[in-house]
């Protein structure tokens, strides 16, 4: 059966522009599996935004656990624009079901109204979500995610990109009174959480964002120190995108209230293509 990623790409283009760009920059042979895996991640990420009660979110996540059980069982999988092609990708590339299951479990944090994570907890969460998506993409690319260096590349790339994404989405989340940034870092810099949820600027916020951005940049440095092989670069392009986004944040003094500091740039796609063709992040 020929997989049609049209729906997945349409959803990513609408709701996850970053990964949409990295998929466009990937080799044509990898775009379809990358798009399907990213669409699965998007389905999980959007649960928290599409339910009004925590229990409804848990039910939605359980639906996806049931899908994985059907995939693992080797039989027919319930028809869905993402679950159906996901089953084929998982079976064709022998993707570890436990990584997909960990992505679902981590998303329970998104729908918990009382959730508040420390930096260490945030890293665990980002590794389970963005990191595991990268691991799956690396395996599709022909690498062994059971190998230590490969899984570490995914960890550093996932945390760097994920933390950069949380920084850029801070005001969007605050608007709905959701604070997903590490609470210990915000408190250490004296960020007033009430002012933040009211979308009011404060001197402490850029200081906390600077701290978090430098932490993300540190993971990018550790990723580059592992010298990812050319074969791994397409699956790691989100790390290159994070580097570009961090550059813009730094140039704007880490001011989240200036939209230009958190927006994508028209040149991002060309710089992603350059990284892919050069084979270096």
Any domain includes 177: yes
pLDDT at 49 over 90: no
The mean pLDDT of 25-39, rounded to a whole number, is 97
Any domain includes 54: yes
CATH number of the domain residue 99 falls in: 1.10.600.10
Q: Residue 44 is part of which domain span?
A: 6-278
The mean pLDDT of 174-180, rounded to a whole number, is 89
What's the confidence (pLDDT) of residue 51?
A: 85
The mean pLDDT of 109-137, rounded to a whole number, is 93
The mean pLDDT of 75-85, rounded to a whole number, is 93
Any domain includes 52: yes
What confidence tier does 45 reach under pLDDT thresholds 50, 70, 90? very high
Any domain includes 142: yes
Any domain includes 1: no
Average pLDDT of the residues of the chain: 95
What's the confidence (pLDDT) of residue 112?
A: 85
pLDDT at 176 over 90: no
Any domain includes 37: yes
Any domain includes 18: yes
What confidence tier does 1 reach under pLDDT thresholds 50, 70, 90? low
Any domain includes 80: yes
pLDDT at 114 over 90: no
The mean pLDDT of 66-77, rounded to a whole number, is 95
Please state the domain count of the chain: 1
HEC assignment per residue over the chain:
CCCCCHHHHHHHHHHCHHHHHHHHHCCHHHHHHHHHHHHHHHHHHCHHHHCCCHHHHHHHHHHHHHHHHHHHHCCCCCCCCCHHHHHHHHHHHCCCHHHHHHHHHHHHHHHCCCCCCCHHHHHHHHHHHHHHHHHHHHHHCCCCCCCHHHHHHHHHHHHHHHHHHHHHCHHHHHHCCCCCCCHHHHHHCCCCHHHHHCCCCCCHHHHHHHHHHHHHHHHHHHHHHCCCCHHHHHHHHHHHHHHHHHHHHHHCCCCCCCHHHCCCCCCHHHHHHHHHHHCCC
What's the confidence (pLDDT) of residue 2?
A: 64
């Amino acid at each position: 059966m020929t997989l049609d990623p049209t729906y997945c790409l349409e959803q990513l283009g609408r709701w996850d522009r970053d990964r949409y760009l990295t998929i466009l920059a990937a080799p044509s042979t990898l775009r379809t599996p990358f798009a399907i895996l990213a669409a699965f991640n998007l389905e999980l990420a959007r649960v928290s935004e599409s339910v009004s009660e925590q229990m409804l979110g848990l039910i939605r996540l359980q639906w996806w656990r049931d899908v994985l059980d059907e995939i693992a069982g080797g039989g027919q999988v319930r028809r869905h624009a993402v679950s159906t092609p996901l089953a084929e990708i998982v079976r064709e590339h022998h993707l570890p079901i436990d990584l997909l299951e960990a992505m679902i479990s981590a998303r329970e944090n998104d729908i918990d109204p009382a959730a508040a994570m420390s930096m260490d907890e945030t890293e665990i969460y980002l590794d389970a979500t963005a990191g595991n998506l990268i691991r799956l993409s690396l395996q599709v690319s022909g690498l062994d995610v059971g190998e230590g260096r490969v899984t570490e590349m995914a960890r550093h790339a996932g945390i760097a990109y994920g933390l950069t994404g949380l920084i850029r989405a801070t005001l969007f989340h605050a608007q709905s009174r959701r604070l997903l940034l590490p609470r210990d870092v915000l408190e250490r810099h004296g960020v007033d959480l009430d002012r933040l949820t009211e979308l009011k600027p404060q001197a402490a916020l850029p200081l906390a964002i600077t701290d978090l951005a430098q932490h993300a940049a540190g993971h990018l440095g550790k990723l580059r120190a592992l010298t990812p092989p050319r074969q791994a670069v397409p699956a790691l392009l989100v790390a290159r995108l994070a580097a570009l986004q961090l550059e813009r944040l730094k140039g704007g003094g880490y001011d989240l209230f200036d939209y230009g500091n958190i927006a994508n740039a028209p040149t991002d796609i060309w710089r992603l293509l350059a990284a892919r063709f050069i084979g270096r992040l």
